[in-house]
Amino acid sequence: MTHVDHRTLPEELGVLIKETQAILHQRMDERLRPLGLSVAQYACLQALLDTPGITGSELARRTFVSRQSMNVLLQGLEKRGLIERSDEPGPRRERATTPTSAAVELTHRARADVAAVVGTMTGQLSTTDLDRLTALLAACRDALLAS
């Protein structure tokens, strides 16, 4: 018996995006693991470097984990000496988190590995195609955020 797929174009697009995201995550994990980082840890450190003073809630949103999971993730990074957290809670009872110099160095190395993965993913696209893909994906994201 042959399986015939009757997905609509929107369904197919949703599946394709999800498959791409899953493979991207897997390839990033393969490159980050030798550095002792998970994708979530890398995303957290990157967000801390990109946005000094970012709140724990925003960190959780940017790394696609719950606030509780973010707290566990931050505790692990703190034990490894990659972040420092203030003893005193600030606004909304959140403790300020800053990356250490070791985290800055590690994140820069990890960024190169992640860029290599993305380069592999987009290597067959022209600059025009890449610009268009970026614009289209941003428009899709923005449409979902506005709904």
Q: pLDDT tens across 5-47, in order? A: 688 998 999 999 999 999 999 999 999 999 999 999 999 999 9
The single-letter code of the amino acid at 109 is R
Q: Please give the Cα distance from 36 to 69 (Å, whole number).
A: 18
Residue whose pair of structure tokens reads 């949703």 in the numeric block: 14
Domains of the chain: 12-118 (1.10.10.10)
Any idea what the Cα angle at residue 81 is, between residues 34 and 101, rounded to 5°? Answer: 85
Output phi, psi for 84, to 5 deg. Answer: -125, 140
The whole model's pTM is what?
0.85
CB 70, CB 63: distance < 8 Å: yes
Q: Choose the weakest-confidence range: 4-8, 100-104, 129-133, 136-140.
A: 4-8
Q: Where are the alpha helices (DSSP H) in 90-126?
A: 101-122
